[in-house]
Structure 1
Amino acid sequence: MKLFQRNGDGKRVSKRNGFAFGVFGAIVAVFIVTALFQSQGIQINIETNPEKAQANPLTVENTEKNNIKAIQAAQEAVVGVSAVKEGARGENSAGTGSGVIYKKDGDKALVVTNHHVIEQASDLEVTLSDGTKTDAELQGSDPFTDLAVLEIDAEHVSKVADFAKSEDVEVGQTAFAIGNPLGMDFAGSVTKGIVSGLDRNVPVDLNGDSEPDWHTTVLQTDAAINPGNSGGALINQNGKVIGINSMKIAKAEVEGIGFAIPAETVTSITSELESKGEVERPYIGVSLYDLSQLPARAVQGELNLPENVEGGAVVGKTATGTPAAEAGLKQNDVITAINGETVASTLDLRKYLYEDAKAGDEATLTVYRNGQQQQITLTLSEQ
């Protein structure tokens, strides 16, 4: 917009209106910023209708309100789990954890929690979000994924958790951990963080020998997970469960590294635990230990292995009537491959059996017996 005035000679000269120029500059700036964001793959919408803009403002306050609604909805499905365990000398101890109500069917409801929360428990009790206590019955448990399913009376259950799709979970998205740290005095506690990593493989010692028996696949989060949070929910900003809180790295030099079992794993495993009480996995029927655990003298003397064989799973005992026994596997046989896949440890063999095979499959083992390599084929059965 231009305004005209006369100069000292009586000629008309133009003068820019400062307000109009400012508006024009702002519009140009908006287009520049928009173009910049869109060039980076970021879409932004500018609401030009004042009524719509006022009705749906993108503010920190509204974001927090949405988070609060999502958390409050999810909290109703998070419960406390108390497990009474009998010690070796007959004394009882009570452990506490968390759980998530994921299904309601008639007069019964199902709760998912961690295997380590209820392991060796003689009595189980669930405390709902409103404080109601009810007895729980174990339906099934799986130590490899650290998941367990409990059944409770559905009379006081008002909310069932919604689960997100694992493929929609991204690193950097906001995550809230809900549970009962340090027992029911802090029931329904919420901590906030982000999803720090996907598909993390964490070693798990199942038999207490300080050696990994399994690598479990988990989500990593920096949302605080404390004792008692185990079995609780890790949710997104929509209130959907993206994982079941399971563990954290508890070292003085480590801060903010916690893990949750992904939603996809939870839904798959709980389905089997509901129907069968356990997860059926193929097995060959032997006890095994790692070749790397043996002294070099035993490897070269008793096993008579070639020097180029540096890893493998050594057969300890073979159970009668198992695929291994029927195929002729013997004590001190060293398994170095299964169906062409290298076996450097018992963990490699277990991972192949549990993730790439199923009961009824044929498996060809590459085995060293008395220093001689041979192939042994067997049919896998259910454990």
Structure 2
Amino acid sequence: MNEFHDPSQDEKQEENSNYESHNPIETKQKNNPWSIWLSGITGGITVAIIGFLLLFTGFIPLHTPEQTEEDLQTDSTDHQLIQTTTGDDGVSEEVLSNVSGAVVGVANIQATDLWSDAGESGQGSGVIYKIENDRAFVVTNHHVIEGANEVEVILQDEERVEAQLHGSDDLTDLAVLSIDAEHASTVAEFGSSSDLTVGQSAIAIGNPLGTEFAGTVTKGIISGLDRSLEVDLSNDGTADWVVDVIQTDAAINPGNSGGALINSSGEVIGINSMKIALGTVEGIGFAIPIDEAEPVIEQLETEGSVTRPFMGISAIDFSSVPPQHIDQTLNLDPNEITSGIVVAEVQPDSSAADAGLAVYDVITDIDGEPIHDMMDLRQYLYSETEVGETITITYYRDGAQEQTDVTLEGE
């Protein structure tokens, strides 16, 4: 996440155990019958004032007994048990405790230069989803471990253990780690995100702001399904990819990235990934649907990367080409051709080279589907095609429209 201070404790005030015996209204009621009527009015006004202040300010102007120091323990185990208490959503304390036990911290360790010792550059969360042989496998976000020289998993007792990175994928923002199985005893169960409905309960579990609040549980609902968000992977101000996410109002804060979003059965339905961090926005967080995450997790675990269809070209958006080059270099009428991608490089011995594509070709369609920019190209190739499939490309060369077939390779 691409995006908070400790709560303070007030000194506990001494309560007055003799409140009733010091009530002047009670004393006067014995001698004055009008006081009964007046006390009723007074009591009604008092209740009305309190209700008004509670409704419109959120505060009751009366002393409320503070929690004891024991109630406010921040020990990771006790903190987890306090937060797993549930209301009327049908989630048992035992279920939440089990899932919380599978959520760990993930620390990104980096060296800033060759002469510096490696230090922690950030923390996120992760979910233990499988124990196999002598390894426990953890899914987290790509952006949590991006650029790391080392990765550590932080257990609930705050012990840190070295993690092995099996693979990471920036497009889906997922990564898979593993640790020695002796450090894991609980595994989270994957559910399904295909049958979710707007309004059903959603519970986020993670480590917001780091290990101090490890195992934090926040409750909300599914606020939206099939949300599409544009992301800028190259940080150049241009969207490179569109991700499909689950929207929730369960609190997701920095450090929650990579944690679990679960349903009322305690099943993982999403991997928490990002939120909208604006002062004017509250309660808009997003998670990667588990149905989309599972095949990626499997590939990262077994192969180290995700294999996707590849043509063998590098290209730029047609909209970024200066007008004089559209006319003089590409030999196109800018009023006739307004979008597409311009081939900047064709890799030798690639499918694109075999199909005859060349530098300065302007691709406008694939299989009859308009390609307006590079994001359209990625979306079509990665979502609509498979490795080994043959596609038909429509392109312009020197002002003339042509077509060619390209058999997709795997990258």
Which category describes the TM-score, using the shorter chain as reference length?
A: 0.7 to 0.9
- State the match for 1:301 in structure 2: 328
Q: 1: CA distance between counterparts of 2:86 and 2:347?
A: 64
Q: Say if 2:312 and 2:347, in contact at 8 Å, map to a contact too.
A: yes
Pairing of 1:1-383 with structure 2 (within 5 A): 63=88, 66-87=91-112, 91=116, 92-94=118-120, 95-306=122-333, 307-383=335-411
Residues 76-115 of structure 1: CA distance to partner in whole angstroms, max 9, x if unpaired? 0000001112335754442110000000112111000000
Task: Provide the secondary structure at the position in 2 that maps to 1:168.
Answer: coil
Q: 2: CA distance between counterparts of 1:104 and 1:317?
A: 44
Q: 1: CA distance between counterparts of 2:329 and 2:113?
A: 38
- State the match for 1:32 in structure 2: none
Q: Say if 1:140 and 1:278, in contact at 8 Å, map to a contact too.
A: yes
Residues 48-102 of structure 1: CA distance to partner in whole angstroms, max 9, x if unpaired? xxxxxxxxxxxx9862673533321210000000111233575444211000000
Task: Provide the secondary structure at the position in 1 that maps to 2:182.
Answer: coil
Q: Say if 1:163 and 1:241, in contact at 8 Å, map to a contact too.
A: yes
Q: 1: CA distance between counterparts of 2:119 and 2:391?
A: 44
TM-score by length of 1: 0.81
Q: Say if 2:206 and 2:216, in contact at 8 Å, map to a contact too.
A: yes
Equivalent residue letter for 1:63? D
Query: How many residues are treated as equivalent by the alignment?
Result: 324
TM-score by length of 2: 0.76
Task: Provide the secondary structure at the position in 2 that maps to 1:98.
Answer: strand
Mark the runs of 5 or more structure 1 residues left unpaired by the alignment: 1-59
Q: 1: CA distance between counterparts of 2:331 and 2:224?
A: 44
- State the match for 2:68 in structure 1: none
Q: CA deviation at 1:372?
A: 0.9
Higher strand proportion:
1
Q: Say if 1:132 and 1:156, in contact at 8 Å, map to a contact too.
A: no
Report the CA distance shift for 1:90/1:110 in structure 2 as closer, same or farther (over 3 A): same
Q: Say if 2:127 and 2:140, in contact at 8 Å, map to a contact too.
A: yes
Task: Provide the secondary structure at the position in 2 that maps to 1:167.
Answer: coil
Q: Say if 2:91 and 2:266, in contact at 8 Å, map to a contact too.
A: no
Q: CA deviation at 1:121?
A: 0.8
Equivalent residue letter for 2:100? Q
Q: CA deviation at 1:202?
A: 0.8
Q: Say if 2:163 and 2:179, in contact at 8 Å, map to a contact too.
A: yes
Q: CA deviation at 1:301?
A: 2.9
Q: CA deviation at 1:344?
A: 0.8
- State the match for 2:59 in structure 1: none
Superposed CA RMSD in Å reads 1.7
Q: CA deviation at 1:318?
A: 1.4
Q: 2: CA distance between counterparts of 1:61 and 1:120?
A: 38
Task: Provide the secondary structure at the position in 1 that maps to 2:162.
Answer: strand
Q: 1: CA distance between counterparts of 2:111 and 2:354?
A: 39
Q: 2: CA distance between counterparts of 1:78 and 1:201?
A: 27
Q: CA deviation at 1:203?
A: 0.9
Q: 1: CA distance between counterparts of 2:246 and 2:326?
A: 39
Q: 2: CA distance between counterparts of 1:176 and 1:206?
A: 28
Q: 1: CA distance between counterparts of 2:300 and 2:260?
A: 19
Task: Provide the secondary structure at the position in 2 that maps to 1:66.
Answer: coil
Q: Say if 1:80 and 1:97, in contact at 8 Å, map to a contact too.
A: yes
Equivalent residue letter for 1:99? G
Q: 1: CA distance between counterparts of 2:87 and 2:224?
A: 27
Task: Provide the secondary structure at the position in 2 that maps to 1:166.
Answer: coil
Q: 1: CA distance between counterparts of 2:264 and 2:217?
A: 13
Mark the runs of 5 or more structure 2 residues left unpaired by the alignment: 1-84
Q: Say if 1:205 and 1:214, in contact at 8 Å, map to a contact too.
A: yes
Q: Say if 2:312 and 2:352, in contact at 8 Å, map to a contact too.
A: yes
Residues 214-254 of structure 1: CA distance to partner in whole angstroms, max 9, x if unpaired? 10111011111111110000111211111000011112222
Q: Say if 1:77 and 1:129, in contact at 8 Å, map to a contact too.
A: no
Equivalent residue letter for 1:158? S
Residues 149-188 of structure 1: CA distance to partner in whole angstroms, max 9, x if unpaired? 0011111211100111112211111111111111111111
Q: 2: CA distance between counterparts of 1:376 and 1:172?
A: 48
Select between 215-224 and 60-69 the one with higher mean Cα deviation.
60-69
Q: Say if 1:202 and 1:216, in contact at 8 Å, map to a contact too.
A: yes
Q: Say if 2:86 and 2:92, in contact at 8 Å, map to a contact too.
A: no
